[in-house]
Structure 1
Amino acid sequence: MLISIIIPTHNDGENNIFFQTLENLRSLKNIEVIVVDLDSKSDFLGKIKNYSITYYSVPLQSRGKRLSYGSKRANGDIILYHHPRSLIDIRAIDFLKEHHQSFHWGALTHNFIEKRWFYKFTSWYSNYIRGDIRKIYYLDHCIFVKKHILDEINHMPPHEIFEDTVLCNLLKKVYKPIRIEFVSQTSAIRFEKNGIVFQSCMNFILKLCFAIGISTKK
């Protein structure tokens, strides 16, 4: 049972979480790590050359297109779409291998690295309301799905944003997801950089535009 881990990167040369992920994955067997990068820089290439990964540099602005590019070239039976600013409990990999016959797709349990009440509430909502009830998981949950299912739907949708939402909407029509208890810890860098109020308002506006059908490119 081979698991392919697809990580989309862009300006991640100083992203310590991404490099910690590569370090954490070093010891695992029967996995392949595929990094699909936009606008690679020399410092980034120099840092990743010591890791056993498959690397692609592609002129694809859309994260969804980069994820799709990677999974179409993957050899694994299971695809794990891995957010570049998330750290997963690597025990999840063994769980997926051992229980592969009991699921079609799903996601890890979300948590933020930074500890604030707002972040805890956001994770709770993401896991139990948007996830368990609505069956929608974002990329920072680290979504996993069997490759033959992705082949049927032509892999990750090419949308500019909300490609993870569109993917989940497609998948949940035919298969029920599972959320496993192993944690995906994600950096709250956007909230920290832009402020909780501003970023929350921006997220709401984007979700509203998506809901009423405005194109994701616009």
Structure 2
Amino acid sequence: MVCQLRRDREKALRIQSILDAAKKVFTSKGYLKATMDEIALAAEVTKPTIYLYFKAKDDLFFTLMLPLVDDIRQQLLKVENNLLTGKIGNGTSLITAIFNAFYHAYEILPSTFRIMQLFQQQGLMGELRPEVRSALNDQGRTNFIICRKLLTRGMEMGYIKKVNVYEMADVIWGSLVGIIQLEDAKFYDRKTKRLTENTLRLAERLIAEAMTIKTEER
């Protein structure tokens, strides 16, 4: 029993070490140029050891993305609960809450978020095996379904103006991703968290002001 627990703990630590190494290599080299040899070297394990746990490079990428995608989903579900229970009572609060749900993932997993940004920017989904690409798309699609559901509910409750929810969800997500990417590119060698957050909050306020139906207009 004790031996099994120790083996399980060692396995978990080894897997985490490999994932940390993959994150480091993906960040420095990009997904396309990263190799399993480099990841093995960074993790201080042999390449066959990596293949004990991950079939290919895209499995590593998928496993790294899961916590990011899952955090966004959990945050959006909290927004949904707050909306349904009356804790969110106007359009400004709703747009802010959705914005925060996306931003939270960047706050807790900034490196993973940037890997995802670069991956999307370079249009690398085609580099993933079909089954991995499908699984990742399903995860992301679920989050956008929840986001669009929140926007639809906000419109039905008279909190926000009626627009195309597919486009509105893309505006919110695209604003967040674009601003983070822009600030990172402009100030890659300096700490930009405060500036990035201030810019994001401005975008959030502008979108909320444009979308919110004021009480007297309902």
Bin of the TM-score, shorter chain as denominator length? under 0.3
When the two structures are superposed, what TM-score results if normalisation uses the length of structure 2? 0.24
User: Which structure is larger by alpha-carbon Rg, 1 or 2?
Assistant: 2
Q: Which has the higher helix share?
A: 2
Instruction: Indicate the structure with greater strand content.
Output: 1
TM-score with structure 1 setting the length:
0.24
